[in-house]
Structure 1
Amino acid sequence: MSLLTVEKASFGYSKTRLVLDGASLDISPGDSIGLVGESGSGKTTLLRLLLGLIRPSSGNITFKGAQLDPANAAFMREYRRQVQVVFQDPYSSLDPRQKVFAIVAEPLRSLRIAGDHRQMVTDALVSVGLDANVLDRFPHEFSGGQRQRIAIARAIVSGPSLLLADEAVSALDLSTRIRIVELLKSLSQTMTLVFVSHDLGVVAALCERIVILEKGRIVEAGPTASILANPQHPYTQRLLASVPRMPA
């Protein structure tokens, strides 16, 4: 059974202005998928649909065969446990007034997950390469890369089956970006990953499958290596041509 299925989903702020137009996507357990496109391509709208933050104007989204219904509180509580997100900016995504323990434990509290929260938070932090001694510190005491690790720990503490990452490395410097990509690649061995990005290089390093969006439509999809080696759609070809290369 598919984990998450999007069937001909469209979304628009008016009938004549579709931001996403007839997108279909099948996410299976263990997939690592990159959603790639320039600003305005529809990838962020698709991500918001996957999070249940907005409803499609038309089409259908199912999770483990059940309709994704943002109005169903019981369904959405379990969905939030199973589907978590890491946002782009580690500086704005963490509450500066809260200590690390409270930040990472937030999903456990809001989703009413029973257990030893301190141990669960500690385990999540260790899994992203941070020590337990950071629990009582504030976000301003950490670098950008460390903050993003804290954000990732918050996303995985509930034990999700699907991790959504929205431009999760674009606000980081190059060396930190490489380390966070390596961390996400390691996590993708134990959970399904959907990585939203405009950066083909990062997606090539991280994702086994790639989905290319242009002006709200999926124009090409398939194995990352195959599409990058032999892109069929002119838009994919233009994206590849725009990637900076070292001179020979």
Structure 2
Amino acid sequence: MSLVSVEHVSFAYTAERPILDRVSLAIAPGDSVGLVGESGSGKTTLLRLLLGLARPDSGEIRFDGALLDPGHRAFMRHFRRQAQVVFQDPYSSLDPRQKIFSIIAEPLRSLRIEGDHKEMVAKALDAVGLSPDAADRYPHQFSGGQRQRIAIARAIVPGPRLLLADEAVSALDLTTKVRIVDLLAQLSTSMSLLFVSHDIGVVAALCKRIVILEKGRIVEQGDTAAVLAAPQHPYTQRLLASVPRLSFKD
């Protein structure tokens, strides 16, 4: 059974503005999937639907076999613990007024997760390569890459089965980007990963599978190395042609 199943999902903000057109994809337990498309392709809208922030106009999304229903409070509380997100900008996603401990512990409080929160936060910091004393500092005391590690620690602290990363390295410099990609690759060995990006090169280095989205439609998907070695759709071919060098993930 797939952990996440998107079946013939369509969505429009208005009748004149269709965004997604019969999108279908699946994420298996332990899978790492890259969702690639240019600005306006519908990536962010699909992510909002996967987070339960909006409902599809048609089709359905299932998590672990159950219908993802934003109106079902009990299900959504369970779902919020199982699926967490890392956003693009590490400078705006962390509250500058709070210490790092409070930022990372926020999901534990909001989801009413019992246990030693101090120990849980320390383990999350260790998992992203930061020392426990980081918990007593403020966001402005960290670099952009360190802030993104903190954002990732906040996402993984409740022990999710699915990590959604929305352009999570696009705001970082090249050296920092490589380090965060390596971190996400390490984390993806213990949870499923959906990595949303316009950067096909980063997806090639990180994800086992790739989904190509163009103007709200999936035009190609499959094993990343196979799709990028022999792209079938002209849009995939154009994306690939824009990247001078790729390192495929076996």
Q: State the 1:104 CA deviation.
A: 0.1
The answer for the alignment partner of 1:181 in structure 2 is 181
Show the counterpart of 1:98. 98
Q: Residue 67 of structure 2 corresponds to which residue in structure 1?
A: 67
The Cα shift of 1:16 comes to 3.4
Q: Matched residues in 2 for 1:245 and 1:82: separation?
A: 35
Q: Aligned partners of 2:218 and 2:102: how far apart in 1?
A: 39
1:53 and 2:58 are equivalent in the alignment: no
**Distance in 2 between the 1:203 and 1:244 partners?**
14
1:25-174 maps to which residues of 2 (within 5 A)?
25-174=25-174
After TM superposition, give the deviation of residue 243 of structure 1 in Å: 1.5
Q: What's the counterpart of residue 234 of structure 2?
A: 234
Displacement of 1:245 in angstroms is 5.0
Q: Distance in 1 between matches of 2:96 and 2:6?
A: 36
Distance across 2 between alignment mates of 1:154 and 1:167: 17
Gaps of 5+ in 2: none
Task: Tell me the amino acid that sits aligned with residue 6 of structure 1.
Answer: V
Equivalent residue runs for 1:2-21 within 5 Å? 2-21=2-21
Instruction: Name the SS for the 1:135 alignment partner.
Output: helix
Counterpart-to-counterpart distance in 2, 1:88 and 1:217: 23
TM-score (norm 2): 0.97
> Which range moves more in the overlay, 13-22 or 45-54?
13-22
Counterpart code for 1:116: D
- TM-score (normalizing by structure 1): 0.98
Q: How many residues align?
A: 246
SS of the equivalent of 1:218 reads strand
Q: CA deviation at 1:202?
A: 0.3
- Structure 1 CA distance for aligned equivalents of residues 13 and 120 of structure 2: 41
CA separation in 1, counterparts of 2:61 and 2:49?
8
Within 1, Cα distance between the matches of 2:53 and 2:175?
A: 33
How far 1:14 moved relative to its partner?
1.7
The 1:245/1:190 distance shift into structure 2, 3 A limit, reads: closer
Q: Which runs of 4+ in 1 moved over 4 A?
A: none
> Structure 2: how far apart are the matches of 1:67 and 1:239?
34
**By how many angstroms is 1:6 displaced?**
0.5
- Greater CA drift, 8-17 or 213-222: 8-17
Percent of aligned positions that are identical: 74
Q: Which stretch of the first structure deviates more once superposed, 235-244 or 122-131?
A: 235-244
The residue that corresponds to 1:219 in the other structure is: 219
